[in-house]
Structure 1
Amino acid sequence: MITKIIDDSTVSFLVEEPDDLLTLRRIIKKEDKIISDTTRVIKQDKDYSRPDRGERIKIRISLEVEKIALDAVFDKLRIHGTIIESTNEAVSKGLHHSILIRIGDSLNVVKKKLQPIELKLIKSKDESIGFVLIAIDKGDCGIGKLKGTHLELMQNMYSGSSGKQYKTNFNIQAFFENVSKALDTTLKENDGIVIFGPGETKRQFANFLAKTPIAKSHKIETIDGIDSGGEDGIYVFIKSKAMQQILGQSKLAKVSSILEEVMIRANNKSRKFTMGFEETKKANEFGAVESLVFSEKIIQTHDEDEVVEFLNDVESKGVKVYALDASTDIGLQVSGLGGILSLLRFAVDT
């Protein structure tokens, strides 16, 4: 998420990933003001005829928040409230309206005063590190964008080779050029590039990239041990030890380490971890939580307002909190373990 603090009560947001919608859900409260572009149907009443169905127009409004809720899969945030300002005279103040925030949308949030936990959430999202993952072989290439804990896959690219017997006119440089052009559409400033896959194609492609403008503004790393290309290679990498080593500063690598440590403690019959909402909530009351991971399942199966209040309380105590969605196997694992788990500083009788 791209954020800009305009003053001590106003923040501008540009949503880039599903996790950003959850962050906004934790920041926006009732009676806050939202300024955003939206659409609304304007109906024209004509003399001696039925009212028409109306025309949907784009407007910019200020909305006083009355209710806010996440979509079940974290891909939309619905904000309902009362219009207090509008760029169109046909849209009166005092009307009720809902704004649907999706990935790619921007909005301003105006609060009476930004609270410390809200500032912490805003700044932590600003520091999110992005990585472009490339699983390449002579036959195909998979490209994934990892931002925070969300993985977005591009469509597989194919080289045009025919298995082990390559066509006589097969040109791997042309394949590399096509992959490089695809990278231009997904790379953002400061994104790192990680290249892997079977054989030597990964190193050949890394050498190719080193001679392009991409290498001047992005760090490129090549790793061994991932023997799959394409989309399958991306998923193999995400579950590998290499991911934790190479992407050690990424949120997904940190979450993977936490999940692994929970499994170790469970196997050793240690009580210094929790699984499930009630267990974790109890541990938080004692100030025992060291780090916490949760998935979209916890929002789907518990009262949303209660979960949001709990997450903000945990993070206000200095606990590291990580959100996951179903785009990775790690997110699915956390959902399978009750949707929330934590590592504890000390054992608590839950």
Structure 2
Amino acid sequence: MITKIIDDSTVSFLVEEPDDLLVLRRIIKNQDTIISDTTRVIKQDKDYSRPDRGERIKIRIALEVEKIALDAVFDKLRIHGTITESTNEAVSKGLHHSILVRIGDSFNVVKKKWQPLELKLIKTKDESLGFVLVAIDRGDCGIGKLKGTHLELMQNMYSGSSGKQYKTSFNIQTFFESVAKALNTTLRENDSLVIFGPGETKRQFANFLAKSPISKAHKIEIVDGIDSGGEDGIYTFIKSKVMQQILSQSKLAKVSSILEEIMIRANNKSRKFTMGFEETKKANDLGAVESLVFSEKIIQTHDENQIIQFLNDVESKGVKVYALDASTDIGLQVSGLGGIVSLLRFAVDV
């Protein structure tokens, strides 16, 4: 998420990933003001206009927040409230309106006073590293963008070769050029590039990129031990131990380490972990939580406001909190464990 502090009461936001929507859900409160571009249907008063239809126009409004809620899969944030200012005279103050915030949207949030936790949440950038994953073989290539804990896959690319009996017209350089072109549309500033797959194709492709502008703007790392290309290779890498080593500073690697430690403690019959909301809430009340991981399931199966208040309370105590969605197996694993798990500083009877 890109943020800019405008003044003491106003912060500008640009949403980049699903995690950002969750952060916004945690910081936007009732009676805050949202300033955003939106659309609204205006009824027509013309002689021949249909009474049941209107014209949808673009306007900029200030909305006093009355209700805010996440979409079930963390990809949209709906903000409902009352219009206090409008750039169109046909849209008067006092009307109710909803703004749907998606990835790529920008808007301003105005508060009477920003709380320390809210400022902490919007200023956390040290873990927002982006990684573009390339699982390449002579036959196909999978490209995935890992931002935070969210994995976005591009459509598989195919080289046109057919197994070991390559067509005489097959030119792997042409395939590499197509993959590099796709990467140019995916890579963002400060993203790192991780290349893996079976055989030597990954090194050939890395050598190809070494002669392109991509190598000057982005760190490139080659990974051995992943024997699949395409989309399967991406998922294999995400679940591997080598992912934790190569992407050690990423949120996903840290979450993977936390889950691995929870499994070790469970096997050792240690009580220094929790699974499920009730256990985790009791441990938090005792100040025992060290780090916490939750998935979208916890908000789907519990009262959203209660969960948001709980997460803010946990983080206000200095606990590191990580959110997951269903784009990775790790997110699905946390959902299967009740939607929320934690490591504890000390054993508690929950």
- TM-score normalised according to structure 1 size: 0.98
Contact 2:5/2:11 (<8 A) preserved: yes
Superposition RMSD in Å: 1.2
Q: Which moved more, 1:44-53 or 1:171-180?
A: 44-53
Give the CA deviation at 1:232: 0.2
Give the CA deviation at 1:347: 0.7
Give the CA deviation at 1:175: 0.6
In 2: Cα distance, 1:63 partner to 1:238 partner: 41
In 2: Cα distance, 1:126 partner to 1:87 partner: 38
What SS does the aligned partner of 2:45 have? coil
The equivalent residue for 1:9 is 9
What SS does the aligned partner of 2:21 have? helix
Compared CA separation, residues 269 and 112, structure 1 to 2 (3 A): same
Contact 1:131/1:194 (<8 A) preserved: yes
Give the CA deviation at 1:221: 0.2
In 1: Cα distance, 2:169 partner to 2:51 partner: 65
The equivalent residue for 2:315 is 315
In 2: Cα distance, 1:6 partner to 1:120 partner: 16
Give the CA deviation at 1:51: 2.4
Give the CA deviation at 1:126: 6.9
In 1: Cα distance, 2:200 partner to 2:300 partner: 45
Q: Which stretches in structure 1 are left out of the alignment for 5+ residues?
A: none
The equivalent residue for 2:234 is 234
Contact 1:61/1:86 (<8 A) preserved: yes
Describe how 1:85-234 pairs up with structure 2 within 5 A: 85-125=85-125, 127-234=127-234
In 1: Cα distance, 2:92 partner to 2:321 partner: 41
The amino acid that maps onto 1:193 is L
The equivalent residue for 2:41 is 41
What SS does the aligned partner of 2:308 have? helix
Equivalent pairs counted in the alignment come to 350
1:189-208: per-residue Cα shift (whole Å, max 9, x none)? 00000000000000011111
In 2: Cα distance, 1:309 partner to 1:47 partner: 52
The equivalent residue for 2:255 is 255
The equivalent residue for 1:344 is 344
What SS does the aligned partner of 1:55 have? strand
Contact 2:127/2:249 (<8 A) preserved: no
What SS does the aligned partner of 2:120 have? helix
In 2: Cα distance, 1:183 partner to 1:341 partner: 35
1:229-264: per-residue Cα shift (whole Å, max 9, x none)? 000000000000000000000000000000000000
1:54-96: per-residue Cα shift (whole Å, max 9, x none)? 1011111100000000011111100000000111110000100
The equivalent residue for 1:298 is 298
Compared CA separation, residues 237 and 89, structure 1 to 2 (3 A): same
- TM-score normalised according to structure 2 size: 0.98
Give the CA deviation at 1:295: 0.1
Compared CA separation, residues 50 and 190, structure 1 to 2 (3 A): closer
Contact 1:137/1:199 (<8 A) preserved: yes
Compared CA separation, residues 133 and 48, structure 1 to 2 (3 A): closer
Compared CA separation, residues 193 and 49, structure 1 to 2 (3 A): closer
Identity %: 89
The amino acid that maps onto 1:122 is I
Give the CA deviation at 1:8: 2.1
In 1: Cα distance, 2:29 partner to 2:48 partner: 45
The equivalent residue for 1:279 is 279
Contact 1:2/1:126 (<8 A) preserved: no
